[in-house]
Amino acid sequence: MIKPHGSDTLQPRYVADDAARAQLVREAESLPSLLLNSAAAANAVMLGAGYFNPLRGYMNLADALSVAANMTTSDGLFWPVPIINLTKETGATVGSRVALRDPNVDGNPVLAVMDIETVESVSDEQISAMAGQIFGTNDAGHPGVATFTQLGNTLLSGPIQVLNYSYFSAEFAGTFQTAVEIRSEIEQRGWNKVVAFQTRNPMHLAHEELCRMAMERLEADGCIVHMLLGKLKAGDIPADVRDACIRKMVDVYFPANSVMVSGYGFDMLYAGPREAVLHAVFRQNMGASHLIVGRDHAGVGDFYGPFEAQTIFSENVPEGALEIEIFSADHTAWSKKLGKVVMMREAADHEKDDFVLLSGTKVRELLSEGIAPPPEFSRPEVADILMAYYQSENS
């Protein structure tokens, strides 16, 4: 199986030993508390689950600035996006040990324990510079920029010990998996070449066929549909509805032992190319040998060119920085001429009208009215789930 990023073995920050974890939980009750924001909490979950291997905790300011500018930490580790605990709290002190509390669970239980190595003030200019480098824009209309620039001006760095996986393991039991668990399941299934498909949306027929194309062309043993389970922007489909849609599609239309349905606990950044590289890093950590990177991967609005998330791998990721390989895909759609889903760039003698193309707005209108999109666009079983969701929202 492919090695994790930056180390020979996976080094998750979750305290797996029951006795040691129970002792830490007791200790945490007597420690000073810090209520995390959702971004820092999501980073803790990903660190705990092994997805952010080989990081031991939150980056300091020098590493955060270096990663934002050059995609490497100060000591040369390739990394695409700063993994930080940026906060508005200012009472923490260097050398202290604090209980990090979960903002996303009632009662704010302790999520992790942190040893604070640095407490640094980050200027508005530094935050603005990092935002521009991570997101490619400083436009406050970009949801990632809007979130990042409002987190605060105090940066806390240091290693963490993670005690639980927030709401993900309870609310998405059977779907949320750690990188450790996915590696174990890949091994149990006897897979070697594994394709990962990133999604924050339900999968329509074109997405289904893209996974099938990638598996066939790469001669892969299997595919992991790996869905984001954390916070999205307003209007996106909730994770439980996406989960139901994807599982129905896989159960009905894929052979047994060919597709895993899984999810990870992270908030969407909408960072386009940089987030695509982060997706590659943590898919390598979970054992995937290939990642499908499609048109406008991890993008939002018109902030990124359609293929920037692909060209960053050839233009900005140094040779040998990652072992995982990219399967570059174009937009896929049903060809009326050929009677099947194709990559649009591979369809010779086709005009736009030769494809079945529906805007997101049009699809939502149809579903809200109880009208299924055409079968060339969406599987009927998936459409039924989505129609029920939209009609419940509008009732």
Residues with a known catalytic role: 200-201
Provide the 3-class DSSP secondary structure of residue 162: strand
Q: Where are the alpha helices (DSSP H) in 165-230?
A: 168-171, 179-189, 205-218
Helix (H) / strand (E) element for 35: namely strand 33-35
- Look up residue 166 and give its two tokens: 């927030």
Helix (H) / strand (E) element for 62: namely helix 61-70
Count other Cβ atoms within 10 Å, centred on residue 185: 17
SS (H, E, C) 17-28: CHHHHHHHHHHH
Contacts of 120 (CB under 8 A, 6+ apart): 60, 61, 154, 155, 157
- Chain centre distance of CA 256: 25
- β-partners of residue 100 are 34, 112
Contacts of 281 (CB under 8 A, 6+ apart): 5, 52, 79, 80, 322, 324
**Contact indicator for 110, 100 with CB cutoff of 8 Å:** yes
Contacts of 383 (CB under 8 A, 6+ apart): 367, 372, 373
b/e 303-339 (16+ beta carbons within 10 angstroms → b): bbeebbbbebbeeebeeebbebbbbbbbbbbbbeeee
Q: How far, in Å, CA of 357 to CA of 387, rounded?
A: 19
- Chain centre distance of CA 228: 5
- Chain centre distance of CA 353: 33
Q: How far, in Å, CA of 198 to CA of 211, rounded?
A: 10
Q: Would you call the peptide bond into 80 cis, given omega within 30 degrees of 0 as the criterion?
A: no
